[in-house]
Amino acid sequence: MAVGAGGLLVPSLGRPAFAAGEFPAETINIVTHAGPGGGTDITTRMMMLRARKEFDQDLVVVNKRGGSGSAALMYTKSQPRDGYTVMTITQSHIFQIIQKKVPITIDELVGVARATDDPTVIAVPASSKLKTLEDLIAASKDAKGGLKWGTTFAGGADHIGIHNFAKAAGGIPYTIVPFKGGGEIVTNLVGGNVDVALLNYAEGESQFTAGDIRGVVSLSEEPIAALNGVPTARDRGIDALASTVRGFAVLSGVPEDRLARLEVGMIKAMKHSIYQNYLTSGGMPKSSVAGREIWNKQIRKIYEESTTALTELGML
């Protein structure tokens, strides 16, 4: 109980929002929206391996599944904004805000540190006649409705990546074929049930290595090292980028000194060789790890570009 105005006893709700003393003084909760074993869960736990030492406190995963990130956002909204509740976010969380599925604005979402910036590659079956970007563009124009692209779900990150690429390539037509996940997309790509797919390298690593699928171009700033000789779309004159990003964020109201402490601790944890090896093994660049300034600019860019794409797709 706390003493309010006039000496009345007022019930206190939860822990004090800004308790005095060194931060962190208790367990930090990392809220995820995906189940155990998925990319978001693994990324979170890999960061936590060294972060416990950096913060000299325990970090625990709080799983809030449902609504493609909306359940995690709503749970975080219900908690004190004191730095002890941090989300692992993806593009999906931003889409929930864009589509107004949660009573949270983009200005309330505050990035702490970026964890992955996983570039994508346009891939085709090994047997495909499409060898170059020019081949793909020409075939898209010739096929009724465009080529068939494997994707997860309408309005998702890969759908928006495909849409933005198609627009940058002169407005070429395309048809999406939704599947349950990356593994199913790769299986159907190998089987020739779709013409092309936009994949993270790690999703198709075994098939790339075995020669079952091959890259046409990557939608990355730099060529993907593991895909020897595959150019970027920018190298071929198409200004299109698409990646799967994950990072840590809070809702506005966390004191600046605590934000800075979270940023420094998480960056140090992810600069450690344990986390860096995790990035390399998954075909992700070491430059994935970035601080608040870069991460918040990217969050805003994703919000603006995705708002435009979803509007063009008639999904807003």
List pLDDT tens digits, range 69-120.
Answer: 999 999 999 999 999 999 999 999 999 999 999 999 999 999 999 999 988 9
Alpha carbons 271 and 273: distance in angstroms, whole number: 6
Query: How many whole angstroms from its chain centre is CA 100?
Result: 19
pTM for this model (two decimals): 0.85
Residue 39 has pLDDT above 90, yes or no: no
Query: Could you give the 3-state DSSP secondary structure of residue 167?
Result: helix
Alpha carbons 37 and 34: distance in angstroms, whole number: 9
pLDDT-based confidence at residue 294 (cuts at 50, 70, 90):
very high
Bridge-based pairing state of the strands 174-178 and 59-63: unpaired
Token pair 């402490």 is found at: 261
Do 118-236 and 25-117+243-312 fall under one CATH topology? yes
Tell me the C-alpha to C-alpha distance, in Å, between residue 180 and each of 37, 89, 115, 304.
16, 20, 24, 27
Residue 161 has pLDDT above 80, yes or no: yes
121: number of Cβ within 10 Å = 29
Alpha carbons 242 and 121: distance in angstroms, whole number: 9
The domain made up of 118-236 has a fold known as D-Maltodextrin-Binding Protein; domain 2 (3.40.190)
pLDDT of residue 12: 40
pLDDT-based confidence at residue 307 (cuts at 50, 70, 90):
very high
Residue 2 has pLDDT above 70, yes or no: no
Bridge-based pairing state of the strands 147-151 and 196-200: parallel
Segment 213-246, tens digit of pLDDT = 999 999 999 899 889 899 999 999 999 999 999 9
User: CB-hemisphere CA count at 13 Å for 242?
Assistant: 29
Token pair 């007022």 is found at: 10
pLDDT of residue 231: 97
What percent of the chain shows pLDDT beyond 70? Answer: 94
The residue ranges of every structural domain in the chain are 25-117+243-312, 118-236
Segment 238-275, tens digit of pLDDT = 999 999 999 999 999 999 999 999 999 999 999 999 99
Tell me the CATH number for domain 25-117+243-312. Answer: 3.40.190.150
Average pLDDT over residues 284-306: 96
